[in-house]
């Protein structure tokens, strides 16, 4: 869903006269930590699917790095909303042993076959902060159906705003930007 949100944001910005090359220099502080967090998330998924107990906790560590980078860049439009979504996902993952609970009903409604695995777990009555879990079915192709959280939606909305701002070079994006610099 995040990749689809980025593509949609770039397409909308292009239609509004934005320039892709303006994404080349994002001016974000601590950007290398984002890459470290992405590597940790990938490792978490691989290790968790192979039964390593500590695998999901790497996802928590990745979120800590990621939220730090977001905090250091909160002056940019959309980043606070992006950070709020990341924080919501972090809280539910940390409260549930390093995994994101996923609703069985939402899985079925989205048309997904199979059960959650790796860094995801099935939502149960014992799941904490269930309302922040993956409970929203997305049945249209993103390229594939998905189940997302409120945090995911905030992340995509924040990215959309930030990409509009960057591609339209600030002033031209003011009509869409919700954050103040």
Q: What span, in angstroms and rounded, lies between the C-alpha atoms of 138 and 159?
A: 19
Backbone angles phi, psi at 147, to 5 degrees: -125, 125
| Residue of 178, 177, 134, 157 whose CA lies nearest to 82 | 157
The residues, any chain, with a CB within 8 Å of residue 166's CB and separated by 6 or more, are 22, 23, 26
Q: Cβ(98)–Cβ(119) under 8 Å?
A: yes
Check residue 119 and give its pLDDT. Answer: 83
Q: What is the mean pLDDT of residues 151-162?
A: 95
> Region 37-62: what's the mean pLDDT?
82
Instruction: Name residue 120's beta-bridge partners.
Output: 100
Q: Between the CA of residue 177 and those of 41, 60, 154, 155, what are the distances in Å?
A: 29, 30, 14, 15
pLDDT at 90 over 70: yes
Q: Furthest-apart CA pair in the chain: how many Å?
A: 50
Q: Decide if 103 contacts 135 (C-beta within 8 A).
A: yes
Lowest average pLDDT, out of 101-105, 116-120, 134-138, goes to 116-120
pLDDT of residue 145: 83
Average pLDDT of 104-128?
90
Determine the Cα–Cα distance for residues 37 and 133; give it in Å rounded to an integer: 20
Domain ranges of the chain: 2-12+74-173
Rounded mean pLDDT, 74-93 = 94
Q: Using an 8 Å Cβ cutoff, are 130 and 123 in contact? A: yes
* E strand or H helix at 75: none
30 membership: H or E segment, kind and range: none
**Rg of the chain (C-alpha set):** 17
Confidence of residue 171 (pLDDT cuts 50, 70, 90): very low
Q: Are 93 and 60 in contact (CB under 8 A)?
A: yes
Q: Is 138 helix (H, G, I), strand (E, B) or coil?
A: strand
Average pLDDT over all residues of the chain: 86
């Amino acid at each position: 869903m995040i990749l689809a949100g980025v593509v949609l944001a770039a397409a909308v910005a292009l239609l509004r006269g934005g320039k892709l090359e303006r994404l080349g220099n994002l001016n974000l502080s601590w950007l290398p930590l984002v890459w470290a967090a992405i590597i940790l998330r990938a490792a978490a998924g691989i290790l968790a699917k192979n039964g390593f107990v500590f695998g999901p906790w790497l996802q928590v560590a990745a979120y800590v790095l990621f939220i730090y980078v977001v905090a250091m860049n909160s002056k940019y439009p959309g980043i606070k909303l992006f950070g709020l979504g990341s924080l919501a996902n972090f809280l539910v993952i940390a409260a549930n042993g390093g995994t994101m609970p996923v609703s069985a009903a939402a899985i079925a409604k989205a048309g997904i076959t199979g059960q959650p695995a790796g860094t995801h777990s099935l939502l149960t009555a014992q799941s904490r902060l269930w309302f922040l879990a993956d409970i929203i079915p997305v049945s249209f192709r993103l390229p594939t159906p998905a189940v997302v959280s409120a945090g995911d939606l905030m992340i995509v909305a924040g990215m959309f705003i930030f990409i509009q701002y960057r591609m339209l070079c600030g002033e031209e994006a003011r009509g869409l930007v919700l954050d103040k610099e």
